[in-house]
A and B are shown apart, each in its own frame.
Chain A
Amino acid sequence: MNTEPIVIERTYNVPADKVWQALTDINKINQWFFQLEDFKPEVGFAFSFSGNDNGTRVVHESVIKEVIPGKKLAYSMIYKDYPQESLVTFELFDEGDKTRLVLTHSQLAEIAKGSPMYAREKFLGGWTYLAGKLDDFLNK
């Protein structure tokens, strides 16, 4: 059982502003991500999209949490039928005519807000404990 955030890194052969536009311009978002009705790179802007999970339509709801133009975009994500808030962060690193993108998807959104270390330890302690219980249960 893994509680570490998902981190995926990619390098694209275009300048950072191109990647930023692809992340924030509605006409471009619609071509690689999902069909959104509207999108504004502003803190507090809310949007939703339907993903597909093994044939089941799943609605995700998001609210933008942080915007540093050209560099960083973060939004919360809640999957409607499974209300576990998570945080998605796109960070762009300008490497001349290339751009390194680091995507981080963390379940620890709630924890990141508060007193981080304490909450994280508490959370991980809880998780380790429960994971053990789950293993016990499944192996009965």
Chain B
Amino acid sequence: MRRDVFQAIADPTRREIIGMLAQQSLNLNNVADQFAISRPAISKHIKILTECGLVTITQQGRERYCHADFGKLKQVADWTARYQKFWTEKLDALGAFLDKEQQTKKK
């Protein structure tokens, strides 16, 4: 199943997790302790966040630490700018092609 950042942030629990990790990296138990829902449920949310690329997990001794990855978020922020440019160029190219085609036909 494909995962993306938008799926990651669609769920309120996951948003809260990201919010917490934005302040500081936490181990899985610390994260789970902040919520009333079960630990397996939290683990599942974290798994989705890692699959979406928003959270990375590192093993430190016996603890697994979760970190927020803001690079991924920034990438999304750049999305609009990148495709705006892409389509502007492509639609210009389409216009040039249509003009050329029209002129060739007239000749």
Contacts and interface: CB of A to CB of B under 8 A. Distances in A.
Contact of B70 (A2, A86, A138): A138
A128 to B, nearest CB: 10
A136 B94 contact: no
A68 interface: no
B20 to A, nearest CB: 10
Contact of B99 (A4, A8, A13): A13
A22 B83 contact: no
A32 B4 contact: no
B6 A6 contact: no
A92 to B, nearest CB: 12
Nearest to A33: B90
A74 interface: no
Interface string A96-140: 000001010101101100000001001100110111011011100
A130 B22 CA distance: 10
Interface string A58-91: 0000000000000000000010001111100000
Contacts of A78: 2
A89 to B, nearest CB: 11
B26 to A, nearest CB: 15
A19 B19 CA distance: 47
A10 B94 CA distance: 10
Nearest to A18: B98
Contacts of A32: 90, 93-94, 96-97
B36 interface: no
Interface of B: 2-7, 9-11, 15, 18-19, 22, 68, 70, 73-77, 79-80, 82-84, 86-88, 90-91, 93-99, 101-102
11 contacts: A4-B80, A6-B80, A6-B84, A12-B95, A13-B99, A28-B101, A32-B90, A83-B4, A84-B4, A119-B10, A122-B10
